[in-house]
Structure 1
Amino acid sequence: MAETSLPKSRTADRPPRASGSRILRLFQRSESARGYLMMGPTLAIMTFGIVVPFVILLVISLWTRQGFGFDTTLTLNNYIRSWNEPIYGSLMLRSFWMSGVATVATVLLCYPMAYFVAFHVHRNKMLWIILMTLPFWTSYLLRVFAWKVILGYEGVINSGLMSVGLIEAPLSFLLYSPTAVIITLAHAWAAFAILPLYVSLEKIDRSLLEAATDLGDGPMARFFRVTLPLSMPGVIAASFLIFIPTTGDYITPALLGGPDGAMIGNLIQLQFGAVNNWPMGATLSIVLMFWIAALALVFLLVTRKVQGRIT
């Protein structure tokens, strides 16, 4: 009896399409998918370099110190303690105050330099920028020690004032005080303010200044009505770049601050170091990041509202 052969399905003979080609076509057609693919390495680095350490820090902050070790039971006792004990709040407020003063001083000092290069230098602007930032190419620690020599009891300032007879004894408030910390922070982070300020001022359309002049505005009115509002993005960026890192700085207060110039960064370093209380140090770090984010948001909203009223 002859066997009847069934017709083979065409789909059975057709090889299955590779899923890789389908994914490739998806990426070719979707612009957002190509964007995510290009951002993949950066997102991976940010995840492992920022998100993962933050999660670890958050978990450690929920532990408690027990003898020479740690109790890994999750609890909010450290956060309650950081809120109830006055020393943490006072150091936090002092850090915000000193960092805020240093930020304002740095922006006020760097704005004229950036303005001069942007509006009055017509050749070799990059050379001027390099010359202004050249002192900041040295080590941060060396610059702190240099200010320690300058502000010391027998330093350049006290010796100079005593030699001309303006003072009879060295000024005690120059070193190991909040003044020394603010001066050093304002100088150490000046390079981070000059560059965004210069870029913001350089992008201002000069025809707007000419139009303001034609409408009768003088130099001061032209500056406050045109130049300053249009350069506010640079001012905001410079303020963020200075305020955020200086709030948690502990090297400058440790070397120049003394007891009255200590900041919250010194206490965090102490918790992770000599005290060996990692959970409390992690808690203070999380609380500091929270308050910095809140203050930055408030500052951004206020500056935008003020900028809207000016314009």
Structure 2
Amino acid sequence: MLVSPTALYALLLLAIPLAAVVLISFWTQTGVRDFDTTFTLANYKEALTDPLYRQLMLRSLMVSGLVTLITVLLAFPIAYFVSFGVKPEHKSLWIFLITIPFWTSYLIRVFLWKVILGYNGVLNSGLKVVGLLEEPLSFILYNVNAVILTLAHAYAPFAILPIFVALEKIDRSLLEASRDLGESRTMTFLRVTLPLAAPGVVAAVLIVFIPTIGDYVTPRLVGGPGGLMIANMIQTQFLRLNNAPLGATLAVIAMLIVAVIAVVFLILGNRAAGGKKGGRT
């Protein structure tokens, strides 16, 4: 009785829409809202053999992977500083400051990056003022690099918070014991702190990687033709080309790839957690 309301809620909002997408991927669209419900694998064959879709999928994985790597590498020092370098009574203030970007609309933040990276934007104007440029740079906007930079900034708080939580759970006496046994600060970090923080790092990786691979707003606004990702093609198939089955097929393939990668990271996280417990015993 206690579980059934939430189970029904999850079924209505998650399972049924997902099942509908999978089902539509095996159909053929014959009109604006008409479908041939005959089972077919033609959509999957086209999605897996067309070079355009493969290129977009590989680009999406590359962009999401780089965004995740950059975000986690930049987030870990911040989370480490807040956890170990800030007084306990000031930590709440720092977390509050980290979450300030959430106060503004995601679209506004993307548009601000357009202002910063534009041909006559803040970055080019600043470099011209200090004499480092004679002509504005034209390659810093409307490409993959702009997409990576914008996504990394947008998802940084999502990476900082889970890492911070994992670092806060570390028993400080374990670090003291490591130092008492003769380990340096560097080796203590590598052999004690980092393994204990691994679950937070894995969580940060998943939290950043999964949504970025499906982002279509940022590539559309700052990516240009060379920065579009698979989500943009899915949107195009549904809303412009009137081919919902192929769009659903691309979505299913993207979800399967993300699921496999997520499972790999979860396995690595569980192994790290197992090694942590074994080391502590």
Instruction: Pick the TM interval, shorter chain.
Output: over 0.9
Structure 1 residue 302: deviation in Å?
Answer: 4.2
Structure 1 residue 148: deviation in Å?
Answer: 0.6
Structure 1 residue 309: deviation in Å?
Answer: 7.0
Structure 1 residue 73: deviation in Å?
Answer: 1.5
**Where do 1:43-82 residues align within 5 Å?**
43-68=7-32, 69-82=34-47
Q: Does 1:114 align with 2:79?
A: yes
**Where do 1:165-184 residues align within 5 Å?**
165-184=131-150
1:139-174 deviations in whole A, cap 9, x for unaligned?
000000001101111111111111111122222221
* 2:18 partner SS: helix
Structure 1 residue 72: deviation in Å?
Answer: 1.9
- Given the two structures, how large is their TM-score scaled by the length of structure 1? 0.85
1:201 pairs with 164, 167, 182, which one?
A: 167
Structure-2 separation of matches of 1:162 and 1:309: 53
Code of the residue aligned with 1:74 in structure 2: it is: F
1:158 pairs with 116, 124, 137, which one?
A: 124
**Where do 1:1-311 residues align within 5 Å?**
37-68=1-32, 69-122=34-87, 123-302=89-268, 304-305=270-271
Structure 1 residue 76: deviation in Å?
Answer: 1.3
Structure-2 separation of matches of 1:222 and 1:154: 48
How many percent of aligned residue pairs carry the same amino acid?
55
Coordinate RMSD, CA, aligned: 1.6
Q: Which runs of 5+ in 1 are unaligned?
A: 1-36
Structure-2 separation of matches of 1:308 and 1:42: 31
Q: Deviation above 4 Å: which 4+ runs of structure 1?
A: 302-311
> Do the aligned residues in 1 keep the contact of 2:199 with 2:273 (CA within 8 Å)?
no
- Given the two structures, how large is their TM-score scaled by the length of structure 2? 0.93
Structure-2 separation of matches of 1:156 and 1:125: 32
Structure-1 separation of matches of 2:162 and 2:272: 20
Code of the residue aligned with 2:18 in structure 1: it is: F
1:201-235 deviations in whole A, cap 9, x for unaligned?
00000000001111112221111111111001000
1:39-60 deviations in whole A, cap 9, x for unaligned?
2221111101000001111111
User: Which deviates further from its counterpart, 75-84 or 197-206?
Assistant: 75-84
Structure-1 separation of matches of 2:178 and 2:153: 35
